[in-house]
Amino acid sequence: MIERIHDIIRANGSFLITSHERLDGDALGSELALCEMLANLGKKAVVYNQDRTPGHYRFLPGSGAILNRLPDTGNFDAAFVLDCSELERVGMEAGRIRQIKTMVNIDHHVSNGGFCEVSLIDPRASSTGELIFRVMAAADIPLTQGIATNLYAAILTDTGGFRYGNTTPESFAAAGRLLESGASPQWISENVYENNPVVKIRLLSRVLETLSFDCDGRVGSMVVSRESLEKTGALPEHTDGFVDMPRTVQGVEVSILFSELPDGRFKVSMRSKGSFNVERIARAFGGGGHLNAAACRVKGDISSVRRLVLAEIEAVR
């Protein structure tokens, strides 16, 4: 499949690159690395995302050129859809993007059913960034400092700083190559993890007040309400990393962040320890993800949503 992707790159001149709503480090790092790679090959490449780039990722090389309004899709020969298990995850412009003649999906979610004819999907990969690294390595494409920085950020964030179970020898091997090519682990980590705006900490102080434990202490959860966002002046992007906090408590196997959405639903983000499969929980509500990290959206008030999710967790014990 990697060779087929190389053939598509060689045969075409203009590319759209996009990823999912609620951007994370893997989505952005993968997009920006691929964009620079294509530009260095003499191709025209544009990155489009429905959502704006979160503040703590704006240090990534090339992030200032990302578009938040989709150009005329007729200007593109092919599209790369990255880190998405289904096209709808790119947001409201999925229908227009679908009109592009050639589409390539590169992803590592186990819930990906293969919505593109050309799909590089490997759930064993730590991140989409690691798959982009493979694509480049297979063609011996030079790793510039900008590409190395973006790919290192992608792998770093999706492995939780190389702490999660998706961290593999291949992840470390790729990271080593990226360091050799100019990525600075300290500078990248400081920007990602040690650059929080005050408003995020104020939001966190309110959200921590909602911390609760269920299922004999095995499940810890917190709630981000629309009221908390409004009163602190925070944005949804400022909840990044909150879902991991209950998981740090002794005895907690599953950590949940319930985030209230404007449309009457809650985004349910889940993380787990060991072999507890939260992807199965998310899938029951139409979502997906990975064994230890998954998400879905559930309609209802917080009491009913919490009850439904906890009941599903109890059912798969």
Residues of the chain with pLDDT > 70, as a percent, come to 100
Does residue 215 carry a pLDDT above 90? yes
| Residue that finishes a domain, picked among 193, 215, 240 | 193
Domain match, 56 and 99 both: yes
Average pLDDT for 87-94: 95
Q: Which of 28, 142, 272 is nearest to 281 (CA)?
A: 272
What is the tally of structural domains in the chain?
A: 2
Measured between alpha carbons, how far is residue 229 from residues 234, 239, 257, 259, 302 in Å? Answer: 5, 10, 14, 10, 16
Q: Say which range, 82-86, 205-209, 287-291, 303-307, has the weakest mean pLDDT.
A: 287-291
Q: Say which range, 31-35, 121-125, 200-204, 290-294, has the weakest mean pLDDT.
A: 290-294
Q: Say which range, 23-37, 108-122, 177-191, 272-286, has the weakest mean pLDDT.
A: 108-122
Measured between alpha carbons, how far is residue 142 from residues 13, 45, 152, 153, 211 in Å? Answer: 19, 17, 15, 18, 47
Does residue 279 carry a pLDDT above 70? yes
Domain match, 173 and 204 both: no
> pLDDT band at residue 317, thresholds of 50, 70 and 90?
low
Looking at every residue in the chain, the average pLDDT score rounds to: 96
Task: For residue range 30-61, list pLDDT tens digits in order.
Answer: 999 999 999 999 999 999 999 999 999 999 99
Model confidence, pTM: 0.90
Residues of the chain with pLDDT > 90, as a percent, come to 94
CATH number at residue 127: 3.90.1640.10
Note whether 266 and 297 are within 8 A (CB). Answer: yes
Task: For residue range 124-172, list pLDDT tens digits in order.
Answer: 999 999 999 999 999 999 999 999 999 999 999 999 999 988 999 999 9
| Residue that finishes a domain, picked among 174, 193, 212 | 193
Domain match, 59 and 176 both: yes
For 40, the domain range is 2-193
pLDDT of residue 113: 81
CATH number at residue 257: 3.10.310.30
